[in-house]
Amino acid sequence: MKLSAILISCCLPLVFQACQRKATESPEAPKNQPVTLTFLRGQGAGSEYFFRSLIARFEKGHPGIRVRVETLPWQTDRQHQIYSDHLRAQGVAFDVMSLDVIWIAEFAQAGWLRDLDNLLSQEEKKNFLPVAIRACTYRDRLYAVPWFTDAGVLYYRKDLLEKYGTPVPETWEELVRTAAKILKKEENPHLQGFLWQGKRYEGLVCNALEYVWSMDNRLQDEQGRWSLDGSRAVRSLQFMADLIRKAKVSPELVAAADEEMARQIFQNGGAVFMRNWPYAIFPLESEDSSVRGKVGIASLPRFSRGESVSTLGGWNLGVNRFSRHPKEAFQFIRYMTSPSVQREMLEGTGSLPTRFRLYREPKMLRRYPHLARMEEILARARPRPVTSRYPEVSETLQQEISAVLADLKSPKEAVVEIERKLPPLLK
């Protein structure tokens, strides 16, 4: 095991303890001893206390199982590094993992995930949003169970739009006009027009694809063949760069912003619009938020030719192929993806359920009116390319698009490179 690599990338006490465990434990846990499962999740909304109380209830109902929860850094790229280093070495430091939708194909192909197809019957699968089940499926087998789902949304300041009598923008062009108008009238040098995620990391790919798709464009057709319209892609990238340099409705710092940076500025009252994931509404509506009660959520805008399309995100629970406790891990996953836990996750973290019935329960809709809109947005959300070579796809897009935002390359040059490098990776 490359212990040093894991410690450097992770620096978490859990890995150290777990690696020690690998050295001393026998392959099978002794009978009649409680089994301890280690569950890894990325840091996100929701307190430690909230997760502990969820786990405590599971443990009460399953006296033979203890669960240790460990929290990884919240950035998906960093989590990916930790998991892949560890799984490549067939490590057993964890049993249940929270997996980003974009990793399923890669991890399944590498043989790092237990096949969970027998865990859910065909009937049970139908209780989940179809997009979420598809995201957990690789070569017709289920490798994870959808835990919570994500799609890019537009946050806007209701109070500011009302003050200037402007509607929620439906097109990107309208968003620019509205943001510019409000910035001019407000005369507040600390107010920004539109925040999004332009830092060189996975979030940039999610943002950029939304500008590509919403101009009636796509990387692949239904059969998976390369079908990007290059000139439209150039216009989409140009639009992103122009938000910063020409229209100046987005500050230069968006080129270094991730979800949390954008969310914090918006939460301090620092912007009119923000692109982010649904979790953000939870902190934005918290007691210490400056914008509490002033925030609306809408579909992302579209270009005048095109429709609103969000990138599909989301997290799923899978089992480490090398875990010595798959049976207990399955029980835990069943519990964590149950309707009651998904309801609590929405209340305790703002995460969106993957079971579609929860979007229609009158009690839930009364408490979370944005659920109805989210169901529609999710129905139009698109997955990033599904391939076991996704890390290379993402790396190429990140490199090219961030060069455009940094003004090191023209959109045309970037698209030429994308058209050269991506098709072979998607075959």
- List residues near ligand GLC by CB under 6 A: 76, 100-102, 150, 202-203, 206, 259, 277, 313-315
> How many Å apart are CA 48 and CA 336, to the nearest integer?
15
- Nearest approach in angstroms of CB 386 to ligand GLC is 13
Q: How many other CB atoms sit within 10 Å of the CB of residue 242?
A: 16
| Cβ nearer to ligand GLC, comparing 203 with 270 | 203
| Cβ nearer to ligand GLC, comparing 78 with 158 | 78
90: left (phi over 0), alpha (psi -120 to 50) or beta: left
| Cβ nearer to ligand GLC, comparing 179 with 371 | 371
| Cβ nearer to ligand GLC, comparing 106 with 150 | 150
| Cβ nearer to ligand GLC, comparing 100 with 328 | 100
- Nearest approach in angstroms of CB 217 to ligand GLC is 21
- Nearest approach in angstroms of CB 152 to ligand GLC is 9
- Nearest approach in angstroms of CB 202 to ligand GLC is 4
| Cβ nearer to ligand GLC, comparing 146 with 411 | 146
| Cβ nearer to ligand GLC, comparing 19 with 317 | 317
> How many Å apart are CA 369 and CA 210, to the nearest integer?
24
- E-strand ranges in 198-270 read none
- E-strand ranges in 89-228 read 96-100, 137-138, 141-142, 145-151, 153-157, 192-195
| Cβ nearer to ligand GLC, comparing 210 with 259 | 259
- Nearest approach in angstroms of CB 76 to ligand GLC is 4
Tell me how far apart the 2 most distant CA atoms of the chain are, in Å: 71
- Give residue number: closest CB to ligand GLC: 313
β-strand pairing of 65-72 with 35-42: parallel
355 has which bridge partners?
128
* Whether 336 contacts 317, CB under 8 Å: yes
Beta-carbon-side half-sphere exposure of residue 350 (alpha carbons within 13 Å): 17
Q: How many other CB atoms sit within 10 Å of the CB of residue 89?
A: 17
- Nearest approach in angstroms of CB 203 to ligand GLC is 4
Written in H, E and C, the secondary structure of 55-109 is: HHHHHHHCCCEEEEEEEECCCHHHHHHHHHHHHHCCCCCCCEEEEEHHHHHHHHH
- Nearest approach in angstroms of CB 212 to ligand GLC is 16
Q: Backbone phi, then psi, for 276, in 5-degree steps?
A: -160, -175
| Cβ nearer to ligand GLC, comparing 235 with 263 | 263
> How many Å apart are CA 350 and CA 278, to the nearest integer?
7
- Nearest approach in angstroms of CB 383 to ligand GLC is 9
* Residue 357: its H or E element: none
Q: Backbone phi, then psi, for 72, in 5-degree steps?
A: -95, 165
Non-local CB neighbours of 141 within 8 Å, separated by 6+ positions: 108, 115, 117
| Cβ nearer to ligand GLC, comparing 150 with 400 | 150
